[in-house]
Amino acid sequence: MAKFINSKYVREMGDITKNMYRQGWDERNGGNISYLIDEHLVREYFKKDKFIRDINLGFEADPIVRNKYFLITGTGKYFKNVKKDPETNLGLVKISSDGKVAHLLWGYKDGGRFTSEFPAHLMSHASRLKVDPANRVIMHTHPTYTICMGACLPTDEVVFTRKLWKSNTEAVVVFPEGIGVLPCMICGTNEIGIATAEKMKEYRIVSWTNHGLYGAGKDIDEAFGLIETVEKTAQIYMLTLDHLVNEIPDEVVLGLAKLWNLKMKPGVIEE
Ligand code: 13P
Ligand code: ZN
């Protein structure tokens, strides 16, 4: 039977964490990723469930994610190290049928556990799966320009979305539903998890003011693509701040939405 360490899921996690570290977004242990793997795919590596140990969740997981398998980065682990030692820096867990515990199948070799942000991840998976059954990935990172932009704007989704859409013509095309915004909160808590998951009902991308971004997608590429588009756009916004002459006109944003037949967040650009 093929070894899980050689699976495409472990390889993808190693590649993306390395890439994100190189972007300068994931200093030290910054950032975390969770990847839902369907049971029939897990079975290609584990004939049946054999758990190493149980890890308490500290909250009750939504029924939609119970009995599901997640590959997750470990708490305190550095993105730059995942590729060279996946079995220490990643773990594969199955959420228990009562939603209280994660059964460890593979990884966290040094006795570690999943990211401290697992409440926000698992609650966000639940929100996204209810609106998009194809969603598989939740990705959290600390992209510099997005954090700068959040610090310079009111915590207002219409304002944040408008600034992004009018800074880069790709922005409205990639996230027509806009961006969710949370104020500065204490991270690693169930409270920030609940608040993030509430936003994830409406948005695939959520900004944590003074902290970073949460992105969702059907695969690693999609979640990362969303985050890199927001970050690139935030960079354009910050570099042009106070120098701006040619802002994208409202008609161009509206024209792009029409061309691509997009359902835009209402109330951001007046028609
Ligand atoms: P973890 O090391 O627990 O994943 O935390 C990193 C982080 O980004 C906190 O928001
Ligand atoms: Zn963080």
Q: Which residue range is the domain that position 64 belongs to?
A: 1-116
End-to-end CA separation in angstroms for the chain: 58
- Does 225 fall in a domain? yes
Mean pLDDT calculated for residue range 49-75: 98
**Is 215 among the domain residues?**
yes
Judgement on whether residues 151 and 198 belong to the same structural domain of the protein: yes
Q: What percent of the chain has pLDDT over 70?
A: 100
Q: Answer yes or no: is 130 within a domain.
A: no
Phi and psi at residue 113, to the nearest 5°: -145, 175
Q: Which of 87, 117, 198, 222 is catalytic?
A: 117
Rg (CA), the chain: 19
What pLDDT score does 271 carry? Answer: 85
Domain identity same for 173 and 89: no
Give the ligand with the smallest distance to the CA of 76. 1
Question: Looking at residue 51, what is its pLDDT?
Answer: 98
Q: Is the CB of 86 under 6 A from ligand 1?
A: no
Spatial distance between the Cα atoms of 200 and 15, rounded to a whole number of angstroms: 26
Last residue of a domain, one of 52, 84, 116: 116
Query: Is the same domain home to 183 and 88?
Result: no
Q: Give how many domains the chain has, as a whole number.
A: 2
Together in a domain, 87 and 185: no
Give the separation between CA 125 and CA 64, rounded to whole angstroms. Answer: 9
Pocket of ligand 1, candidates 80, 90, 117: which has the most ligand atoms within 8 Å of its Cβ, to mutate?
117
Confidence of residue 56 (pLDDT cuts 50, 70, 90): very high
Contacts of 258 (CB under 8 A, 6+ apart): none
30 Cα to the center of ligand 2, angstroms: 5
255 part of a folded domain = yes
Q: 47: how many CB neighbours lie within 10 A of its CB?
A: 8
Q: State whether 89 and 142 are in the same domain.
A: no
pLDDT digits (tens, 9 = 90+) for 17-31: 999 999 999 999 999
Residue at a domain's end among 58, 85, 116: 116
> Which of 116, 151, 181 finishes a domain?
116
Q: Does 141 share its domain with 24?
A: no
* For the CA of 74, the nearest atom of ligand 1: 4
Same domain, 67 and 141: no
Q: Are 93 and 105 in contact (CB under 8 A)?
A: yes
Checking if the pLDDT of 132 tops 90, the result is yes
In a domain, 61, yes or no: yes
- Whether residue 215 is found in the same domain as residue 164: yes
Asked if residue 134 has pLDDT above 90, the reply is yes
Q: Are residues 44 and 111 in the same domain?
A: yes
Q: 148 with 260, same domain?
A: yes
Q: Does the beta carbon of 116 sit less than 6 angstroms from any atom of ligand 1?
A: yes
Q: Does residue 145 fall inside a structural domain?
A: yes
Res 137: pLDDT:
99
In a domain, residue 127? The reply is no
Instruction: Tell me what pLDDT residue 249 has.
Output: 98
- Provide the CATH number for the domain around residue 82: 3.40.225.10
- 132 part of a folded domain: no
Residue 180: burial class (beta carbons within 10 Å; 0-12, 13-18, 19+)? buried
Judge contact between 127 and 200, C-beta under 8 A.
yes
**Concatenated DSSP letters for 209-229?**
TTTEEEEEESSHHHHHHHHHH
21 and 81 belong to one structural domain? yes
Q: Please enumerate in sequence order all residues whose Cβ is within 8 A of that of 11, keeping only pairs 6 or more positions apart, or say none.
A: none
Predicted confidence (pLDDT) per residue in 207-261, tens digit = 999 999 999 999 999 999 999 999 999 999 999 999 999 999 999 999 999 999 9
Q: Which ligand is nearest to the CA of 210?
A: 2
| Residues 44 and 100 reside in one and the same domain | yes
